[in-house]
């Protein structure tokens, strides 16, 4: 597959690095460097970043917040991560713009797919925050929606695992990795690639997903150059 425009989903937890929470400056700089290299390759890059390193709505609901409030707090966490990523990209010499699904000017510009596409065509990175802007939807679903809206060639899910396995490879040493797997098989097996809503949305709109290890520097560039990195979900 040739990638002209991608939606890159980054994990909030991965941004924490070895700290477990908050933002690891080294990890942030590594991500910014890889993204700048991708743009230099001629690829337009849209990004959605999670907020789990700061606050997770579901976890908040379990601690007594109502779900809507918890999810709104999680959306704000994605804005913090998006601002940090924009700053790191600009420090690396790569222009970037934060677009928010919830009105938050001047922190970020209001999101629209037209504004995001304009940003990409200008050679800047479009960082789209707040998920879908509605509670009860994860940032995985927000990523799938944004990938479809900006007409990306694929949604690339950068995680700390190098693809999709039959089980969690961090817990099961016998887990086997897939090179390619269909949306239907992912759902039938109940694999934790993304939540079911996000997977179904990609399936209905024929949006390919590539799951890969973003925490290993150089992997994103290898994937974009056509090397066999990660797992393709089709």
* Structure confidence by residue, pLDDT tens digits, 169-187: 888 989 999 999 999 999 9
Specify the pLDDT at position 2.
85
Over residues 2-59, the pLDDT tens digits come to 899 999 999 999 999 988 889 999 999 999 999 999 999 999 999 999 999 999 877 7
Alpha carbon distance 88, 183 (integer Å)? 34
Q: What is the DSSP letter of 194?
A: S
Mean pLDDT of 70-74: 94
Q: pLDDT-based confidence at 205, cuts 50/70/90?
A: very high
What percent of the chain is predicted at pLDDT more than 70?
Answer: 99
* In the chain, domain spans: 5-233
Specify the pLDDT at position 19.
86
Q: Which fold has domain 5-233?
A: Carbamate kinase (3.40.1160)
Cα dihedral: 106, 49, 27, 81 (round 10): 30
Specify the pLDDT at position 63.
74
pTM greater than 0.75: yes
Q: What is the DSSP letter of 18?
A: G
Return the exposure string of 112-135: e unless at least 16 CB atoms fall within 10 Å of the residue's CB, then b: ebeebbebbeeebbbbbbbbbbeb
Alpha carbon distance 70, 77 (integer Å)? 11
Alpha carbon distance 146, 47 (integer Å)? 9
């Amino acid at each position: 597959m040739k990638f002209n425009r991608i939606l890159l989903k980054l994990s909030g937890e991965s941004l924490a690095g070895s700290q477990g929470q908050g933002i690891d400056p080294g990890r942030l700089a590594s991500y910014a460097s890889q993204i700048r290299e991708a743009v230099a390759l001629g690829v337009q890059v849209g990004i959605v970043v999670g907020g789990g390193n700061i606050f997770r709505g579901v976890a908040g609901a379990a601690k007594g917040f109502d779900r809507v409030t918890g999810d709104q707090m999680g959306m704000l966490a994605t804005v913090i991560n998006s601002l940090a990523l924009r700053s790191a990209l600009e420090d690396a010499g790569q222009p970037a713009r934060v677009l928010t699904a919830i009105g938050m000017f001047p922190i970020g510009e209001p999101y629209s797919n037209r504004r995001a596409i304009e940003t990409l065509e200008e050679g800047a990175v479009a960082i789209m925050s707040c998920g879908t802007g509605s509670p009860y939807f994860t940032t995985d679903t927000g990523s799938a929606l944004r990938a479809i809206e900006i007409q990306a060639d694929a949604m690339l899910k950068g995680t700390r695992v190098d693809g999709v396995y039959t089980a969690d490879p961090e817990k099961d040493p016998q887990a086997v990795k897939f090179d390619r797997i269909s949306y239907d098989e992912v759902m039938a097996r109940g694999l934790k690639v993304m939540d079911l809503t996000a997977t179904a949305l990609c399936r209905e709109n024929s949006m390919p997903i590539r799951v890969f290890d973003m925490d290993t520097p150089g992997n994103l560039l290898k994937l974009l150059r056509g090397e066999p990195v990660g797992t393709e979900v089709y």
